Structure 1
Amino acid sequence: MARVIETSVLIKAPPSRVWSVLMDFAAYPSWNPFIRSLSGEKRVGASLEVVIAPPGSKPQTFKPVVIELVAERGFGWRGALPIPGLFAGEHRFALAEEASGTRFTQSEAFSGLLVPIFGSILEATQRGFRAMNDELKARSENQ
């Protein structure tokens, strides 16, 4: 089974500013309502520690691996349960320059046998994406 969730927002700021806010992991607790904590090396192949708090859910800690890092364009990681085939997710942040700013897209592709069971959690996750996007927009536009 597979499922993709995606949200997007236009930020009236250049990609360089949005990127600097997005990659300032230490500041996440002060502004990010969805990803409450993010730490680890910023390089492909590095392990991260991510604490997410989807609306209405308890915080969850994941230890994904960075699969994409292209300055001012994209950042992504892949995480999975220890047993292959049960549940995995590829989370991506994409930045695209537009005439009026930066199109920021946050998505995650979920796969595995447990995806249908996690339907309500994935809906909360999508709401969390939107909340994060809104705060990233506000923080990037007001710097």
Structure 2
Amino acid sequence: MAFVIDKSVEIDAPAALVWQVLTDVDAYGEWNPFVLECKTTLEPGSPIDMRVKLVGPPKQQREFIRSCTPEREFSYNMKPAPLGVLSSERSHLITDLGDGRTRYDSHFQLNGPLSVVVGGLLGGALRKGFTGMTDGVKARAEALKAVRD
């Protein structure tokens, strides 16, 4: 059984600007309440190193870029635990809605027998984190658009 968090939001900013917000990982600390620091090249197979605020003090986390289609999507996952007891999928997808509007879809999924345990222990904190990041992407992109207009 999987543990899944899907969040979507419409943003009053063009897709290219939303992509810029998502991929300017050096600026995450300025607007992202969940991923406080992030370093990556976004090249498939390369690491994505994050400092994440979940419960207690922020923790370092390393995952690996799975895919990156410029101005459309990028995804990453953790190194699976032995015997498939836990694995993860994380993706960011942007869709140009026309008229300078964009939809941002955030997807997170834990798979494997331990996903139920992790979801039970950390589900509330994970939902809060992904909601904060989704809301932050919207606020940041719309604020940058307002400055440019």
Q: Same fold (TM over 0.5)?
A: yes
Q: Is the 8 A contact 2:42 2:74 kept in 1?
A: no
1:79-104 Cα distance to aligned partner (Å, 9 max, x none): 03542412111100010111351100
Number of the residue aligned with 2:98:
99
Work out the CA distance in 2 between the residues paired with 1:125 and 1:58: 14
Instruction: Give secondary structure in 2 for the equivalent of 1:68.
Output: strand
Instruction: Give secondary structure in 2 for the equivalent of 1:10.
Output: strand
- Structure 2 length as normaliser, TM-score? 0.87
Number of the residue aligned with 2:67:
68
- Structure 1 length as normaliser, TM-score? 0.90
1:21-53 Cα distance to aligned partner (Å, 9 max, x none): 110111111111011111122211111112221
- The equivalences for 1:43-58 within 5 A come to 43-54=43-54, 56-58=55-57
Work out the CA distance in 1 between the residues paired with 2:83 and 2:94: 31
What is the CA distance between 1:134 and its match in structure 2? Answer: 1.1
Q: Which runs of 5+ in 1 are unaligned?
A: none
Number of the residue aligned with 1:135:
136
Q: Hey, which of these two has a bigger chunk of helix by percent? A: 2
Q: Which runs of 5+ in 2 are unaligned?
A: 145-149
Structure 1's 120 and 82: CA in aligned 2 closer, same or farther, altered over 3 A?
Answer: closer
Q: Is the 8 A contact 2:2 2:111 kept in 1?
A: yes
RMSD: 1.6
Work out the number of aligned pairs and report it: 142
What is the CA distance between 1:57 and its match in structure 2? Answer: 4.4
Q: Is the 8 A contact 1:7 1:126 kept in 2?
A: no
- The equivalences for 1:9-20 within 5 A come to 9-20=9-20
Number of the residue aligned with 1:113:
113
Matched, 1:125 2:126: yes
* More off after superposition, 56-65 vs 41-50: 56-65
Question: 4+ residue runs of structure 1 moved beyond 2 angstroms?
Answer: 56-61, 80-84
